[in-house]
Amino acid sequence: MPMVVIITRDVAPRYRGFLGSVMLELSAGVYANPRMNASVRARVWEVLSDWHSELGRGTIVMTWAERAANGGLGLSTLGEAPRDIVAHDAMLLVRRANRAP
């Protein structure tokens, strides 16, 4: 059972109550559970996805350890991700825009 971390940004208060009931809120909008199994993780994500499609606001990122995934990290997002994460040579990288000199 891998550690699951969920980060929320600009979401409705209902997310905080729901996530706080199944995970520890480490900081505002940052939730963790060290022993969440895959079926519970899928159900939590299903609830978050349903709410997000209904409310259409905010960003949610969920990550967990997954050996078969690039970089050993499973990753799901709702809304506009704050960073552009790309898979490259079995690793996850953050793509940044080039800045003109």
pLDDT digits (tens, 9 = 90+) for 22-73: 999 999 999 999 999 999 999 999 999 999 999 988 999 999 998 887 778 8
The whole model's pTM is what? 0.82
**HEC-encoded secondary structure of the chain:** CCCEEEEEECCCHHHHHHHHHHCEEEECCEEEECCCCHHHHHHHHHHHHHHHHHHCCCEEEEEEECCCCHHHEEEEEECCCCCEEEEECCEEEEECCCCCC
Q: What pLDDT was estimated at residue 74?
A: 87
Q: What pLDDT was estimated at residue 24?
A: 96
Q: What pLDDT was estimated at residue 96?
A: 67
Q: What pLDDT was estimated at residue 98?
A: 65
pLDDT: which is higher, 92 or 72: 72
Q: What are the chain's domains? A: 4-95 (3.30.70.240)
Q: What pLDDT was estimated at residue 8?
A: 96
